[in-house]
Amino acid sequence: MDFTVARNCLAEGKIGVIPTDTIYGLVCSVFTPDSVEEIYKLKGRRPDKPLIVLIADKNDLIKFGITTDKSVEKVCDKYWPGPVSVVLPCKGKSFAYIHRGSETIAFRLPKPKWLRDLLSETGPLVAPSANPEGQPPAKNIKEAKLYFANRVAFYVDGGELDSPPSTVISLVDGKEQRLR
- How high is the pLDDT of residue 75? 87
- Asked if residues 76 and 88 have their Cβ atoms less than 8 Å apart, the reply is no
- How high is the pLDDT of residue 168? 86
- How high is the pLDDT of residue 1? 62
Is 133 strand, coil or helix? Answer: coil
- C-alpha 108/C-alpha 88 separation (Å) is 11
Q: What is the pLDDT along the chain (180 residues), one digit of tens a residue?
A: 678 999 999 999 999 999 999 999 999 999 999 999 999 999 999 999 999 999 999 999 999 998 888 888 888 999 999 999 999 998 878 899 999 989 999 999 999 999 999 999 999 999 999 999 999 999 999 999 999 999 999 999 999 998 887 888 888 777 777 888
Torsion of CA 89, 164, 24, 133, to 10 degrees: -70
Residue 109 CB burial class (10 angstroms; 0-12, 13-18, ≥19): buried
- C-alpha 171/C-alpha 71 separation (Å) is 9
Q: What is the pTM of this model?
A: 0.94
| Residue 135 DSSP label | S
CATH architecture assignment, domain 4-178: Alpha-Beta Complex (3.90)
Radius of gyration of the chain (CA): 15
